[in-house]
Amino acid sequence: MSVKTITRKSGLRGEITIPGDKSISHRSIMLGAIALGTTEVSNFLEGADCLSTINCFRRMGVEIEKKSDSVLIHGKGMRGLSAPKDTLDVGNSGTTTRLLSGILAGQGFTSVMSGDASLNSRPMGRIITPLQEMGADITSIKGNGCAPLKISPGTLHGISYHSPVASAQVKSAILLAGLYAKGDTQVTEPALSRNHTELMLQSFGADVTTSLHTDGSASAGVRPCPELYGQQIYVPGDISSAAYFIAAGALAPDSELLIKNVGTNTTRAGFLKVCEAMGADLTLLNQASTGGEPRSDILVRTSCLKGTVIEGALIPALIDEIPMLAVMAACAEGTTVIKDAAELKVKETNRIDTVTAGLRAMGADVTPTDDGMIIHGKGAPGKDNTPLRGAEIQSFLDHRIAMSFAVAGLAADGETHITDSQCVDVSYPGFFKTLDNICPA
Ligand code: S3P
């Protein structure tokens, strides 16, 4: 177990380049593996979750080469994967498990996926139900709706599925299985979740349709696909990783940070909208786009934040940033209400509980609710008067809890100790080094 100690800082300065987007990195390996030809991925995220995806495909016979500045995937085509000899280890990664389930449902061999204790307690019924409806032979081995999952050959047919949750992992599992199905497949979700699968499938040559409905729900459809074709992919920086430094720049007095190359796809950029509503001083510079994925540099300066309401269709566009937003809310003036976010309960930890525990340890006023939390901020104006006090923070091995509370530690009096801080490697190896670099000596 490694413990990271953080103390209060002001005068953060520097230029930070954010590592590649985790969601896009996963998808680049998956689609590259089942495409014909070679896919070259630049700015791939070498975090533990994406390495789990690489290892699973290597075990199914896909050659994946790591070059100095890119990853090369020598695709096997839609039906070229081979049966893995052992259980596929999906580590801590929900994205690997759920998306890969969709691909494995279409294969002519049996496979088993299993992960760590957190992963094996997360709900998989949400993908088992629609995949079974498509004709897949997928079961939870322990019968508890969780991994380990066993997937055997089945004959897939297209369905029109109404997902009860706005989840890109559910949507993607169904669309990927739909590539192998007879007939068209459609998924409708109550609000639009991240659309990286739809965008990338289109660029690999799949026939994908999308529509937004007047009630806020969204549909994505796919036609059966004989083959996909390898592509050049540039992965923008992960906005979920950038969020920690945007928050650090806004919270620490006398700070100015330039955060380079941040993916700003609207289905992911809810954090920026909420920052704006809270009064954060942000400027977007050098906007560009590759493969339908927009990106921008973001300049952030110390800001006096105020409370806000975070709810509804915005939630899927910032679901992973809620721990960081909760810390910002504790340092803001006024009340922040987070609702419609029951999905927080089924992330790497129950993040309603783990955020509440961390904030309370630091002296914040937070009340957990069934679908979010209410935070009475005790900060701004008068940035020198921090409302947080240093504390021992349990990360519960949740990377986003560790990073959010490391930033809280920068704004807190005294020392903050983050337990099991190595868990940041799941999505952001190098996080603490970058944090050290922007802090004055
Ligand atoms: C992800 C989707 C989100 C997100 C997760 C990554 C993805 O989960 O929380 O970190 O890459 O598709 P859900 O789809 O379950 O909302």
We report the CATH number of the domain holding residue 104 as 3.65.10.10
Half-sphere exposure of 263 (CA within 13 A, CB side): 28
**Ligand 1 pocket mutation pick from 24, 45, 95, 197 by most atoms within 8 angstroms of CB:** 95
Ligand 1 centroid–CA 317 distance in Å is: 10
Place of tokens 């070059």: 67
Ligand 1 atom 4: residue of nearest CA: 320
pLDDT of residue 387: 86
Q: Which of 21, 23, 98, 163 to mutate to test the pocket of ligand 1 (most atoms within 8 A of CB)?
A: 23
Contact 171, 187 (CB under 8 A): yes
93 touches 147 (CB < 8 A)? no
Q: Which atom of ligand 1 is nearest to the CA of 168?
A: 14
Distance (Å) from CA 174 to ligand 1 centroid: 14
Q: Which of 197, 217, 234 is the last residue of a domain?
A: 234
Residue 90 to residue 151: CA distance in whole angstroms: 14
Q: 234, 259, 291: which is the final residue of a domain?
A: 234
**Burial call 29-43: b when 16+ CB within 10 Å, e when fewer:** bbbbbbbbeebbbeb
List C-alpha distances in Å: 4 to 109, 323, 346, 431, 433. Answer: 44, 18, 26, 12, 11
Q: Which pLDDT belongs to residue 384?
A: 63
φ/ψ bin of 279: left (φ > 0), alpha (ψ from -120 to 50), beta (otherwise) = left
In ligand 1, the atom with minimum distance to the C-alpha of 343 is 16
Residues 320, 398, 420, 425: which is the catalytic one? Answer: 320
Query: Is residue 180 located within the same domain as residue 249?
Result: no
Task: Specify the pLDDT at position 381.
Answer: 62
Q: pLDDT tens for residues 327-354?
A: 999 999 999 999 999 999 999 999 999 9
Please report the pLDDT score of residue 133 as a whole number.
98
Pocket test for ligand 1, best of 319, 325, 347, 398 (most atoms within 8 A of CB): 319
Cα separation, 280 vs 276, whole angstroms:
5
Tell me, yes or no, whether 9 and 94 share the same domain: no
113 closest CA partner among 136, 93, 134:
93
The sign of the torsion formed by the CA atoms of 130, 135, 136, 141 equals positive
List of the chain residues with pLDDT < 70: 381-385
Q: How far is the CA of 168 from the centre of ligand 1 (A)?
A: 6
- Shared domain for 246 and 350, answered yes or no, is yes
**CA-170 nearest atom, ligand 1:** 14
Residues 193 and 289 in one domain: no
* Residue 50 CB neighbour total at 10 angstroms: 30
Domain count, the chain: 2
Report which of 383, 402, 241 is spatially closest to residue 306, judged by C-alpha positions: 383
Q: Which atom of ligand 1 is nearest to the CA of 166?
A: 16
Nearest protein Cα to ligand 1, atom 15 = 167
Same domain? For 196 and 328 the reply is: no
Best of 92, 189, 194 for a ligand 1 pocket test (most atoms within 8 Å of beta carbon):
194
Ligand 1 centroid to Cα of residue 93, in Å, is: 10
Whole-model pTM? 0.98
126 with 203, same domain: the answer is yes
pLDDT at residue 26, as a whole number: 98
Among the atoms of ligand 1, which is closest to the Cα of residue 23?
Answer: 11
CB atoms within 10 A of CB 367: 12
83 and 222 housed in the same domain: yes
Which positions ≥6 away from 57 have C-beta within 8 Å?
29, 30, 33, 64, 73, 81
Question: What is the reported pLDDT for 385?
Answer: 65
The answer on 161 and 116 residing in a single domain is yes
Q: What is the span of the domain harbouring residue 413?
A: 3-20+236-438
pLDDT score for 441: 81
Same domain, 201 and 295: no
- Which atom of ligand 1 lies nearest, measured to the CA of 27? 11
Nearest CA to ligand 1 atom 11: 23
- Centre of ligand 1 to C-alpha 209, Å, is 21
426 CA distance to ligand 1 middle (Å): 14
Q: Is 207 a known active-site residue? A: no
Q: How far is the CA of 95 from the centre of ligand 1 (A)?
A: 6
Q: 270: CA distance to ligand 1 center in Å?
A: 14
Cα 116 to Cα 92: distance, rounded to the nearest angstrom: 6
155, 221: one domain: yes
- Count of Cβ atoms closer than 10 Å to residue 213 Cβ: 10
From 234, 254, 272, the end of a domain falls on: 234
Residues 269 and 377 in one domain: yes
Pocket test for ligand 1, best of 29, 52, 167, 315 (most atoms within 8 A of CB): 167
Residue 334 in tokens: 């006024």
Q: Same domain, yes or no, for 252 and 380? A: yes
CA of 316 to the centre of ligand 1 (A): 9
d(CA 216, CA 312): 10
Cβ < 6 A, ligand 1 pocket: 23, 26, 95, 167-169, 172, 193-194, 319-320, 343
Closest atom of ligand 1 to 26 CA is 11
